[in-house]
Amino acid sequence: MSEKQSMPSGCILEGEKLSAEYFSAGKNIPVLKEVDISLKERECIGIAGESGCGKSTLALSLLRLIDEDEGRVFGGNIFFREKKHEEIINIAAVDKHRLLKVRGKEISLVTQDPYTSFNPVIKLYRQFREAYSVHNPGFEEKDFFLRVSSLLESVNLYPPEKILQSYPHQLSGGMLQRASLAMALLNEPRILIADEPTSSLDVTIQKKIMETLKNLRSLYNLSIIFISHDLNLISEIADRVYVLYAGKVVETAPSAEFFKDPYHPYSAVLLKSLPKLGARGRIASIPGRAPQPGAIKKGCAFAPRCSYADGECFRNEPPLTRSGEREWACLKGK
Amino acid sequence: MMIPVLFGITVITFFIMHLTPGSPVDGLMMSPDVDAGAIIRLRDAYGLDRPLHIQYFSWISRVATLNFGSSFRDGRKVTMKIAERLPATILLNVVSLFLIFSLAVPIGIISAVKHNKAIDKILAVCVFAGYSVPSFVVALILMMYFGVELGWLPVSGMVSINYEFLTFWGKVFDIASHLILPAVSTAIGGLAFLSRYLRSSMLEVIKQDYIKAARARGIPEKSLVLFHALRNAFIPMITVFGLLLPALIGGSVVFETIFSWPGMGRLAYEAIMARDYPVVMGVGVIMAVLTLIGNFLADVGYAAADPRIRYE
Amino acid sequence: MEKLLKNKMVLSGLLIVFFFILVSVFAPYVYRHSPLEQNISHRLRAPCSRYIMGTDDLGRDVMARVIAGSRISLSVGFVSVGIALLIGVPLGLIAGFYGKGADRVIMRIVDIMLCFPTIFLILMVIAFLGPSIYNVMMVIGLTSWPGLTRYVRAETLSVRRREYIQSAEMMGIKKHRILFVHILPNTIAPVIISAALGVGSAILAESILSFLGLGVQPPAPSWGNILTLGKEYISHNTWWLLVFPGTAILMTVVAFNLIGEGLRDVLDPRRRKEK
């Protein structure tokens, strides 16, 4: 693990060669392979890919949230520019104590299923208060309440008193997801990782949550890592897109260019299989199934499903090609 | 739920009494230490000439008013005999429940947090031993070692001979020293059972997504375990408490007999050995009722601890 | 089967049980002391070269009595679990398979049995029927089936819901055929597990009853009634009357628990998934 003195200006988070694996039945299953990712201040990046490509693992590894006995992240660095001193720390290497000050305070996470983001047997009030108190020792009750109620209002949950006195199961899924957005922003983090924040909700609610998210973004100057299998949603909010396939980044591009002209054949198929806006976008029409990360040892992981693939693709792993702001890993693409 | 169970228990008790070859009274006729009056009283009380179901209903209607009749041995009211023994049994069981919980909770937490580490494995072996060890033999061995060999602790009864002459604190200390061995022996089985249960339910809770979500908020491990996880793991424990109770009450028959503890369990044993039917019946019904009350409290506690049930 | 033997817990449990079976069957021919022969002048001897486990209050050889006791304990364990199986498994199958009224009645009875302090029930029955080893087997068997019924019912219910059973039913295959051919085999795993655990607790229950004077009656030897003497002479520091039968009980119970839990690790699919 190396220390880093400087980061590109405007850059707030930089994941470098992140690899992760899970332990299962005595074997190590690789999930992420040397993923590079960067996030600028106030930027929103979208991470796209089919289920099982490692998107959620990426979200968890950025906060070192993978359980020690379930798996591990290894070999990479996660540089983060701290709010106060503009000091750069390496999240992958900091001690536990420092890590606790990053989680929730600098970087927050919103997950897919709102019902599992709150403890089911504790009132929301206590859960909010606990999360507030760990980052604001010696806080005033009044300040806490002001903060929570203004947040709840900004996610359209009224009245705050009533919401706070509820148990999670007393709220609907959409309300809970709003509450967890509010929770994520409680301690004014600069980065929000949203891991499929809308995919367990139905379409109308999905739209409202997306509106709320955009609102919050401009309201609190957030940088967002938006993870989704749904390219429609990503196109709505993201400035840049990362496409993940079998644990690797296969393409990175600014949204505008990406949606007009994807370079990687996989991205192209993903885009082609998009239903029109409004309908729920499931990526199901690509021939074959996404391989388990690590199942393909040689060559390009997408080759078996790719219509452009030839012998070379099965032999050699394509390197990332860079041109301007775009990167792609394909021997055949542009 | 309670009513049919209570009904069933009284039927079983009544049925077992009538399993005895002949009538309960026949056996008594032979024993010289029972006076003729008691036999007549018993005949009257049970209406032994009438058909079984009528006998049952007349018996149950008296049981419902806690009227179990009088003991064959000393002619005293069964209710009185039980009432004077009950506090000792409750004291013993409350103390061992306290022991069980105050040890099982840390053991369960530590082994769940240190899952698969050395300390977890050591604790697992201890718990397995506690599970398998015949605790009445442990009681005897403790009795021999601490009571006889070292002479540190009294081995029988609840108070010393000079109890009457002790100061208040002397009395408390006296009872406490008599309590140690019976309470420890009673606690062994439940302790093993509960700590293992808590371990597995903690392990399950710790893996839940809401714990991960709380961790993502920067909440330190300590409060994740002690506040979030424990709170959830405790809910199923309340049901287990209901299962533990019959075992404890049944166990009191054995341990009170071993340590001559003047409680209801020992009364039951003495009554069984002396074939003192009214007392056996009375104790049986009271034990069942106590168990049911425990189960009821467990249900209430479960509802109180789990908001998801309370509001549905 | 191979997997079972590879499991260290099952294997060591089986070895201990095998050892006790060997001892109870063959030891009387090898170890020539009689469990009944009295020798008052040698009463309450501590273990020595002549009496490896010492003697009791009548000068009987404790080792011979422990060996003879293993026969009784094991047979009580197996027979009473056999009885419990005969009652518990059919009831569980009926409750799970036919459901409705039968299920309600059976499960109510199970609830009642589980609520009642078993030891007290056993004591009561034995006291009224008279203490004998057969009554002990009967009573332990008659009181230990409810747990089994629960497991079998739960398993039956879950198998019943599977698609292949439902389609078999739809195709008009006879109910009892479905029950015996498809469902019964699926319940074997939980039944074996709880039977193994049941033998251990039956042995424990027998020793408690004999200890309290309600099981095997002296002079016949049993682990429990050796312990009774140990309690009686506790002020004489007769530790050998406690330690040896106590260890015997501990080892058999441990063995059956090892077998039961080891089997659970191997057979129970729910726990397998966890690992």
Q: pLDDT by residue (tens digit) across B198-231?
A: 888 888 888 888 888 888 888 888 888 888 888 8
Q: Please give the average per-residue pLDDT across A127-153, as a whole number.
A: 89
Q: Which residues pair with A225 in a beta bridge?
A: A45, A193
Best A60, A64, A119 residue to mutate vs chain B (most B CBs within 10 Å)? A119
Q: Please give the average per-residue pLDDT across A225-247, as a whole number.
A: 90
Quick check: B305 and A121 CB within 8 A? yes
CA distance B220 to chain C (A): 26
Confidence (pLDDT) at A99:
87
B117 — contact with chain A (CB < 8 Å)? no
How many angstroms separate the most distant Cα atoms in chain B? 79
b/e per residue, A85-123, with b = 16+ CB within 10 A?
eeebbbbbebeeeebbbbbbbbbbbbbbbbbbbbbbbbb
Closest partner CB to A113 (pick from B209, B217, B231)? B209
Decide: B137 and B241 in contact? Cβ < 8 Å.
Answer: no
> How many whole angstroms separate alpha carbon C23 and alpha carbon B300?
51
Half-sphere exposure of B47 (CA within 13 A, CB side): 13
Half-sphere exposure of A2 (CA within 13 A, CB side): 7
For residue B74, what are its two tokens?
Answer: 């000393």
Between C29 and A107, the more confident residue is A107
Among the ranges given (A180-194, B103-117, B199-213, C114-128), the one the predictor scored with the smallest mean pLDDT: C114-128
For residue B199, what are its two tokens?
Answer: 């371990």
> How many whole angstroms separate alpha carbon A310 and alpha carbon C175?
58
C44 — contact with chain B (CB < 8 Å)? no
CA distance C181 to chain B (A): 35
Quick check: B133 and C119 CB within 8 A? no
Quick check: B216 and A105 CB within 8 A? no
Quick check: B132 and C108 CB within 8 A? no
DSSP letters spanning A105-118: TTEEEE-S-GGGSS
- At A8, the amino acid letter reads P
Sequence-distant (≥ 6) Cβ neighbours of residue C138 within 8 angstroms:
C80, C83
B110 — contact with chain A (CB < 8 Å)? no
The ipTM estimated for the assembled molecules is 0.82
Find the helix packing angle between C223-232 and C240-267, rounded to 10°.
140
Residues B261-276 pLDDT 10s: 899 989 988 888 887 7
Secondary structure (3-state) at B183: helix
Closest partner CB to B250 (pick from C108, C117, C261)? C117
Q: Report whether pLDDT(A92) > 90.
A: no
Residues A284-334 pLDDT 10s: 456 666 676 666 667 888 888 887 878 888 888 888 888 888 888 888 765
CA distance B104 to chain A (A): 22
How many Cβ atoms are within 10 Å of C36's Cβ, its own excluded?
14
Chain C residues inside the 8 Å CB shell of B207 = none
Quick check: B232 and A119 CB within 8 A? yes
The secondary structure of residue B274, as a DSSP letter, is: T
CA distance C165 to chain B (A): 31
Q: Please give the average per-residue pLDDT across B236-240, as a whole number.
A: 80
For residue B265, what are its two tokens?
Answer: 């369990």
Find the helix packing angle between A124-135 and A173-185, rounded to 10°.
20
| Chains sharing 3 or more CB pairs under 8 A with chain C | B
Q: Model confidence at B95, in pLDDT bands (50, 70, 90)? A: very high
For residue A9, what are its two tokens?
Answer: 């200006």
| Chains sharing 3 or more CB pairs under 8 A with chain B | A, C
Closest partner CB to C123 (pick from B243, B253, B258)? B253
Confidence (pLDDT) at C272:
42
Q: Which residues pair with A322 in a beta bridge?
A: A327
Among the ranges given (A47-61, A79-93, B107-121, C181-195), the one the predictor scored with the smallest mean pLDDT: A79-93
Looking at chain B, which residue has its C-alpha nearest residue C128?
Answer: B20
Question: Which helix (H) or strand (E) element contains residue A178?
Answer: helix A173-185
Between B195 and B71, the more confident residue is B195
The secondary structure of residue A77, as a DSSP letter, is: E
Ramachandran assignment for A282, one of left (phi > 0), alpha (psi -120 to 50 degrees), beta (any other): beta
Quick check: B227 and A130 CB within 8 A? yes
CA distance B107 to chain A (A): 20
Q: Please give the average per-residue pLDDT across A272-279, as a whole number.
A: 62
Q: How far apart are the first and last CA of chain B?
A: 19
Chain C residues inside the 8 Å CB shell of B279 = none
CA distance C72 to chain B (A): 17
Quick check: C127 and B273 CB within 8 A? yes
A127 — contact with chain B (CB < 8 Å)? yes
In this prediction the pTM is 0.80
Chain C residues inside the 8 Å CB shell of B138 = 246
Quick check: C115 and B148 CB within 8 A? no
With a pLDDT cut of 90, the percent of chain C lying above it is 8
- At B171, the amino acid letter reads K
Using the structure block, give the residue that is written with the tokens 């507030």.
A132
> How many whole angstroms separate alpha carbon B88 and alpha carbon A235?
74
For residue B184, what are its two tokens?
Answer: 């420890």
Q: Report whether pLDDT(C139) > 70.
A: yes
How many Cβ atoms are within 10 Å of A254's Cβ, its own excluded?
15
